[in-house]
Chain A
């Protein structure tokens, strides 16, 4: 959709509600599985939880999807791939960071080669857990629904914690009397 036509439809013809309704019920996630969270997403899309009730259809090409589901640790080499995948997706696009590894590095949080997803691409919704349950994934999609609707409810935001006082300190040299 060209930018001018989009402006006309959304602003002049007041079709924004219809547009958002359409986007909301067809959130097609593309996976970027780099660790074990992919299993939970498979479970989410399976018959037990059936995320297609909320329009979530796991699909296989980023060029036809509008949600990027980052599942797992993103290393510096993988960050380039993540950015490429994000740039290939059509507008409107949303990013969900799933699991402790994608949110803040998780188990590998202080590593030399692990980056956080929100330093590479803008993240809409975070999912906490290691790994998150399928219910948490479904809840993230419902949070994304509410964001698109314009009524964002309570979200999950990672916090920054300074752990330097708790690290092993170098030994102080003994003071001479």
Chain B
């Protein structure tokens, strides 16, 4: 990747939540850091994501604010990014918990957290049709959710194409008007 690509995890630092997560979950992190806004960001292995989500539930985070992915075609990886937030828990008003994990690009599968956090259901379905990531355990995988049923289908093979991947090209690419 070029030098302009931002790092996948911000620089390391001390954070009060980090000790709490370590106390319940053990040291499962590949990397961790603190964003400039003061939010904790942890990178975990993809098979640990359900345990991390359950731990975030215990710590008081009650919804998934955002769930999206980033495509790294040269590294052949997807970076799946979860952001947990809390409405009601005292002490977590201005806190966000970023959880990131890397999965291979040719077989993008990760466990669903929709039963732990129901608000992640729609986000997973959107991420599935935009990036082709298969969230195992979510019953809506393999269906169209936001996209038109006729759109983004490969004409030769009939397979769906994923428009937010970096190798996706619109048919009239470069023609204005």
Contact = CB atoms under 8 A, between A and B. Distances in A.
Interface size class of B (residues with CB under 8 A): 10 to 19
Residue of B150, B163, B175 with most partner-chain A CB within 10 A: B175
A158 B151 contact: no
B6 interface: no
B152 A104 contact: no
Contacts of B173: 110, 164, 167
Nearest to B172: A110
B168 A112 contact: yes
Given A111-B170, A112-B152, A112-B163, A161 B175 contact: yes
A75 B168 CA distance: 18
B7 interface: no
Interface in B86-121: none
Contacts of A113: 147-148, 151-152, 163
A104 B176 contact: yes
Contacts of B175: 160-164
B7 to A, nearest CB: 23
Given A112-B163, A113-B163, A77 B148 contact: yes
Most buried by B among A75, A109, A112: A112
Contacts of B158: none
Contacts of A112: 151-152, 163, 168, 170
Interface in A93-112: 104, 109-112
Interface residues of A, number: 17
A177 interface: no
B174 interface: yes
Given A76-B151, A113-B151, A162 B174 contact: yes
Which of B152, B163, B170 counts the most chain A CB atoms within 10 A?
B170
- Counting from the closest, the 4 A-B pairs by CB-CB distance are A164-B174, A76-B148, A112-B163, A160-B177
18 contacts: A75-B148, A76-B147, A76-B148, A77-B148, A104-B177, A110-B172, A111-B170, A112-B151, A112-B163, A112-B168, A113-B148, A113-B151, A159-B177, A160-B177, A161-B176, A164-B173, A164-B174, A167-B173
